[in-house]
Structure 1
């Protein structure tokens, strides 16, 4: 039962193979088994690849089954259309387009399996890429907010600098009136005289201005800090909103690109393995000598071709004979049947008159 199934997968003529030896049947059963298991691997590979896209096992398995059947049909077609000829070169020319198609199929099958085999290494590459994208994303978003934040920070610094300058001025006035009272500077008169009071009043006025400046600038600084905090919140919100896009950067194309960053040799070996599996039935049929099945298939096809050629030639001869007979019959009628000639002449004349009348009426309507 399994042998018959694999023979069916090989695309060979089972009726002819039934008349062949067991060795011949086993040969084509092996070819069919290769075709079948290649389709199974295509089903597994495509299911995994589609699972990375849709993240749904039912959808992945459904489309994977369709893809596996498609690959099975293509492989079966490729193997079944290669027929043994008398020269290897003619067979290779016949098989060359099919070999190209087999290479394409091998690439399509091997790539998803490579993604699964090297999944851990690919995840590491994707993690590094995600980290780089996260940093780049933060820098890019920060460029939109940093100028405003820096301007607000500079304004805060300027307001604080105003307070510092005013404090230095108040301290200087304080030293002036203290040294005046001690008699170490100014008038150098010990005691609190009129000059001392004047300098003290100036200091007190400046101190009052300082206190008011602190109150005003503190309110301005609080407003600016609130604006900076709001910008920082917006910055973080935008980073958090864009982060899921980066976290989801692990689709099929991203994984294929990550695979290309890994060493080439392991992937090449896997591809060559599937290429050998995919092309082995083709080369097996090309390189093997003509066998019992090939001779019987050629005999069956040549018998059919001979029968078709004979029928075509018989139909052509029958057609030519019928044409010759018709020509002879019409020639005899043309020479002997004067009555038929006169009748057709009369009808032709009536037809021409009707055409002339119709043309005249049409032209008359146009002129009116």
Structure 2
């Protein structure tokens, strides 16, 4: 426990020798140091997670993420340690507020930066589903755009193909009706257009000849349609329309798993809205409160330092700093002389030397 306490005291930025003289102050700075440490730890996790998506797919992605996470965590830790240690508890309340205001603003910015990647991990499942919907809608829109562009570009050819198909369908329907009439004539079925006499007579022969001619016309139309369809198919392949297909469920899962940081960050922002564009208050509040929690956690060391009363440690630090300032100013009025290269003596400088040094400093 002693080693742990010393580590957290170091994290809080206190003067260890002075703090050890005041046992009543030690627990307070253990708490402040622990808060700073865990803030740096969350920053390391957050930065590493964000960097992992930047290099995702690279074989060294985990190594890059770990290195960046450690560097980012140490940077945030050092910044938080400086922010807390730089607040002077011996000044007036208003002066402390003025000192803390820019530090609190900086802490808020750090909290926002830290919270975003962690929010991405917390809402990972919801983000994946929103990305799948987005990718599927984008693919459908892309296919629709390609089809519209193709229809505009080859409008004449497509119109001709549709007209030929209509003619083919009409002719095939007529041939089918005439073939039925021919069968009625041969088998002696009496209708308004058949004689009702069984047998293969002149009327049946004439009908069969007409059917053969119309069948040849139908074959010609089918050949023309195949040529036109082949032309359209080659044009579609040339324009890349065959390469665009609606994503399958497996493809959507793969795309969502390799999505980058920007896509996931966009999807997190979209979680506050339903599919029809209306506001989803419950999800929006959840995302907002989680972000505020990390921001508050980042600002907590500053708030604890400001809310705590002036203790004996603060007074000791004030006295120690005053004494060191006095000693430094006193040492300025003395100079060191070397006698025979062996002994050093401190002698007070003359007034003229003081004036000369002051001029040099001003210069």
Mark the runs of 5 or more structure 2 residues left unpaired by the alignment. Answer: 179-204, 273-282, 335-348, 358-363
Aligned-partner Cα distance in 1 for 2:173–2:33 = 96
2:223 is matched with which residue: 219, 240, 244?
219
2:263 is matched with which residue: 215, 234, 254?
254
- CA change 1:112–1:291 in 2 (3 A) is same
Alignment correspondent of 1:78? 83
Deviation at 1:85, TM superposition (A): 2.6
Aligned-partner Cα distance in 1 for 2:7–2:356 = 52
Deviation at 1:269, TM superposition (A): 2.0
Alignment of 1:205-216 (within 5 A): 214=218, 216=220
Alignment correspondent of 2:123? 118
Mark the runs of 5 or more structure 1 residues left unpaired by the alignment. Answer: 172-199, 324-368
Deviation at 1:254, TM superposition (A): 2.0
Alignment of 1:7-156 (within 5 A): 7-18=9-20, 20-55=21-56, 56-148=61-153, 150-156=155-161
Aligned-partner Cα distance in 2 for 1:50–1:288 = 37
- CA change 1:276–1:166 in 2 (3 A) is closer
Local SS of the residue matching 1:65: helix
Question: Contact (CA 8 Å) 1:88, 1:287: kept in 2 or not?
Answer: no
Aligned-partner Cα distance in 2 for 1:321–1:146 = 92
Structure number with greater Rg is: 1
Question: Contact (CA 8 Å) 2:136, 2:246: kept in 1 or not?
Answer: no
Deviation at 1:133, TM superposition (A): 1.0
Question: Contact (CA 8 Å) 1:39, 1:71: kept in 2 or not?
Answer: yes
Aligned-partner Cα distance in 1 for 2:9–2:313 = 13
> TM-score with structure 1 length normalisation?
0.68
- CA change 1:167–1:100 in 2 (3 A) is closer
Per-residue Cα deviation, 1:138-177 (whole angstroms, up to 9, x for no partner): 1112222223565334213434566768998xx9xxxxxx
Local SS of the residue matching 1:223: helix
How many correspondences in the alignment? Answer: 294
Aligned-partner Cα distance in 1 for 2:241–2:6 = 68
Deviation at 1:126, TM superposition (A): 1.5
Per-residue Cα deviation, 1:313-333 (whole angstroms, up to 9, x for no partner): 67693436679xxxxxxxxxx
Deviation at 1:286, TM superposition (A): 1.6
Per-residue Cα deviation, 1:112-146 (whole angstroms, up to 9, x for no partner): 11111111122222222122112111111222222
Aligned-partner Cα distance in 2 for 1:240–1:305 = 75
Alignment correspondent of 1:361? none
Deviation at 1:295, TM superposition (A): 0.9
- CA change 1:162–1:97 in 2 (3 A) is closer
1:264 is matched with which residue: 280, 284, 292?
284
Alignment of 1:323-338 (within 5 A): none
**Higher helix content, 1 or 2:** 1
Aligned-partner Cα distance in 2 for 1:166–1:283 = 87
Alignment of 1:279-318 (within 5 A): 279-312=299-332, 317-318=351-352
Aligned-partner Cα distance in 1 for 2:173–2:97 = 97
Question: Contact (CA 8 Å) 2:39, 2:77: kept in 1 or not?
Answer: yes
